[in-house]
Chain A
Amino acid sequence: MINTLRSELLRTRRKGVVIGWFGLTILFTVMINMVMAQVVGSSNAQPEGGPGVSFPTLDQWQAADGITAGLSSAAGMYGVVALSFWAIVTAGDYSSGLIRLTASAQPDRVKLLLGKVGALVLWTAAVTTVALIADLVIAPVAARSADLDVSAWGRDALPTLAGAWFNLFATLLVWGVIGLVLALVTRSAAISISVGVGYVLVVEAVITAALDAIADWTPGATLGALAQGGTSAIPYGTALTLGALYTLLGLGVALVVFKRRDITD
């Protein structure tokens, strides 16, 4: 499996992937912090969010872990980026025909898939780190522009940053696995991304509106809660468990689909 991981890392190291993924991550970090500075304002009322975005209150932003509020607020947006890149890298093998070459060079499809997943997990860790670093640079600038009192931000810096990193990483991992499954099933990056984005923007909102009972179980809500370190509706432990379940379920489906389906065109 190490061979497939090394091989996959070499292929995913291409300029387009690095610039695209890192660039979008930085762009979203800048955007969310700047918008947050505008919408959070001076009152402590809960600002309105949007699809994939939930802003903190003023108190939450000013708290010790507020410096990373941008990351958890935009977790849905980062998630769509992660889903897209996992899907592009996976479906790209089919559209380019590269899958024929790799599958005949490494006939053990489980190893082949786990190598790809391993490489994408490492990339996801790198992107999470880039997002965190970008946030550490941008958040103080945004806070200053909103005249925010951020004196608490220096306290417990290490656990705060480590927690934020892990929560975002775990969230992106689940989104990525969803992208992987969609790409393996549809063999099309465009369809996978459309389905993923469509789900976040439309489908989950409709499901939640129609079936209130499962609102706390849906992927979007679960991953939003995971990124924020838990919410009043979904505690951190529940979010973590559900996230792990989604990941395992997704990987299971991906393995079965990849192992059993023919590689034709």
Chain B
Amino acid sequence: MAEEYILTRDIIQDHSERMLNIKKYYPYFKLTEGAFSQFGGGRYDELDMGYILMAVLRFFIEENNFREKDVTYDEYKRFMHDIYRRDFAIALDEEEENEVTGYIFDKIKNDGRPFSYTYFDPADKKRKTVRMKLIDSRIKEDTICYYITSDAIEFYLDTKEIKDESSISVAQVLLSKMITTSNFKGGIEVIKRINSEVGRLKARKNEVLNILSFDVFEGTRAYEEFVNTGMRWFEDEQKLFVKNMELLGEAAKRMDAYRDAEGASDSTADIYYLEAELKKAITKHSELLAACTDLQIKADEIIAGAKFSKLRRSFNFKDALRMMMENDDSTVLENVILPLLNLNIKKQFSLTSIDRLLSAKVTAEEKGEKIEKKEAVEYVYEDELEEQRISDNYRAIIRVLADKIESCNIGESFDLRALNMALAEVFGEGIYKNGDYYSMLVHMCQKKSYDIAEVVADTDTFFEAELKAAAGDMTDVAFELSFDDEDKVRLMDMFEISNIYFTRR
């Protein structure tokens, strides 16, 4: 009895709604039926009204909805001009083209009238008319403008963009019917189907995320399809879940009212079982919803990230690994991994260091180091020592020579033999073996006269420098040298020198 009631209600109550849904398709079939067969004697039969209609609607959506402007007849005409050239192999002269374009436009506009059809409404027991326009017009600044109606947009989108309702919704509608017909056992089966669909969508969500991770372009396509076929129905599905819970609540109340009737207890158990299952399904569906919201956020991030990374080159881990493996050197891995690790701030002795530490002898007491002030050591090199020696010897000899000269009156002289004897008295005969004595004589003989006062004022030769140093206060000594090459002075039977006469001035 109840089943019959539902059946009748579906047929009668919902009929009007179904007719209204059909209306958006009506103009299409009305227009395409024999559209060009009668026009112009069938000359333009090659043209396809169905295609042209869809193209014109898309053009209007583009202009009205995307560019937010109305369309003038001239704009429509230009659009049609391109259609004929591009899509149909038909040669039209200007007049013919104007004629055809006008004809099509009138047809789509239905000469300004709405497309209409009549149906019988069984609920009201009346015949009703459904009306719909594809293109409407208005006047703007003295120009007639055309725009697409919302019904036409809905029709256009319904042909492709909007797919069938989700299978979850379909299953829920079925579930509603089962609850209202008290077929609770069947309802449990339906819920199982809903759960499996929720599970499938969850798995699909993970697949989409995975594709997005590896290929943004392919992933974006998969994501958009997932949004269109799955996610867009979530709201409706949620509403249906609520509705079914309400229906189930009502069914439970009804059962309470008839709880004494035969089989009522079985039904009550089924209701509670169904209710529990439905609650589980709702929880799972909510989880799916949350997961998909998360997917939305991540998809946006991935797409934004991909846009940025297109602009800058990144370090590609797979390429890098391939390079490492080609070179067959695993040690470079440390250059890649070590920078990721924490700073090593806990320093440890190696075992060998500890070993050394333990075996090392330790002094019993630490003694302080005594620091003394020391003169900086000056190094004297050998040549400096030689020079010092020569200088000392020269000065000593010069002093003897100077004393000898000083002891003479002016104009008096003495020879080398006398000097040798004076030197031998002071230094002993060893002086005759001293090379410095002979070298001094050589230096001295470079000039024939010396005046110490002049030498002090202006030093010229090496001998004069030594003479000046040795002179001290003997500034009034002056002497001349004369040489006797015939008279040879022999010393220790080893050395022979021409005699020299020293005359005081």
Q: Do A and B come from one complex?
A: no
Interface residues of B (CB under 8 A from A): none
